[in-house]
Amino acid sequence: MKNSLFISKILFFVLIMLFPNFAQNKAGTTVGQFLKIEPSARAISMGNAGVSLSGEATLSFFNPAGLGRLSGSQVQFTHNQWIADITYNYAIAAINFTELGTFSIMMTNLSSGEIAVRTVEQPLGTGEQYSVTNFAFGLGYGLMLTDRVSVGMQITYMNESIWHSSLNAFGVNFGVQYRLTESGVMIGASVSNFGTKGKYDGRDLYLNHDLDPKKYGDNDQLPAEFRVDEFSLPVIFRAGISYPYVFSNDFKFLLSIDALHPNDNSESINVGGELNLVKNFFLRAGYRNLFLANSEGGAVFGGGFNYEFNSSMSIKFDYAYADYGRLAQAHRLTLGINFY
């Protein structure tokens, strides 16, 4: 007990010491914004308060330390009909090797679909089409250091493309979870997308330039290229707590609260709850971005159910609805298969 508490304090101290270093950029100065879209329908419907939660592979998005607490192997898929008809898909597979810990592999894809190219001269369209696509691939690992402390890390490669130009970057997620009491009170902290900077490159940045348009006979076809800056990934520090309350075997409640500190926005708080009915049915609700100025929407709710085929396999389905104010709403569906 003393050793696990000592390890937990060290890990939390390291995370907190890193915390002030992320407050360097302002809003709108990070790339890879799709890395902030949450894939877990369960956590989303609990207000995105997922840093201290575990039991699902998708929760490694909030804190990879949750991988170490998986009792078996899982495969999960999430489909999200995002804002403005943008399509978002996420898949993760986590395999538990008991003494060695849990390894995971994940993929994310976001696509805008075809968009008409418009110019000042041709506002109705040039007849060309372009698209915006985002892709991420990650490898994760989680381990129980003691019976109370788990740690985890994920390395992610991301690519963001707009028409004929794209950028690449690498990021690391790492975190820790600590079980405070035998009843299951958990605290967690994590850092997401701490990594390299990225800048766009591609033939959309090439142009023919005239050094002096007023000079007759000047060469107006000099090959040139736009110079673009590098930008950081959207780094997020999370810290939170979850508190379970058992009314009876068929009636349980879980409260979760997270505090967020991103490098491209102001601090905020997420809060949510999950009501477990008759073991396999769940009702959830929450609120995101409390105290965040000019936020668009915040209320979320959802539910899910778990069906056990036998003692070695079960299937889980979760749904989440999120309100985004003037940007309308988003619906997420997560399907999971558990192998014990």
Tell me the per-residue pLDDT of 264-303, one tens digit each, with 9 for 90 and over.
888 999 999 999 998 899 999 999 999 888 787 789 999 9
pTM score, whole prediction: 0.87
Q: What CA–CA distance (Å, rounded) separates 197 from 234? A: 10
Tell me the per-residue pLDDT of 52-111, one tens digit each, with 9 for 90 and over.
999 999 999 999 999 999 988 999 999 998 888 889 999 999 999 988 999 999 999 999
CA distances from 205 to 108, 202, 231, 254 (A): 27, 6, 17, 51
Do 110 and 134 contact (CB within 8 A), yes or no? yes
Between CA 136 and CA 141, with CA 137 as vertex, the angle to 5 degrees is: 130
Q: What CA–CA distance (Å, rounded) separates 302 from 304? A: 7
**Strand ranges for 8-116 from DSSP E:** 73-81, 87-96, 102-111, 115-116
At 3, list the tokens. 């050793």
Whether pLDDT at 132 is above 50 = yes
Q: What pairing do the DSSP bridges indicate for beta strands 102-111 and 115-116?
A: unpaired
Do 276 and 284 contact (CB within 8 A), yes or no? no
- CATH architecture of residue range(s) 2-197+232-339: Beta Barrel (2.40)
Q: What CA–CA distance (Å, rounded) separates 262 from 26? A: 10
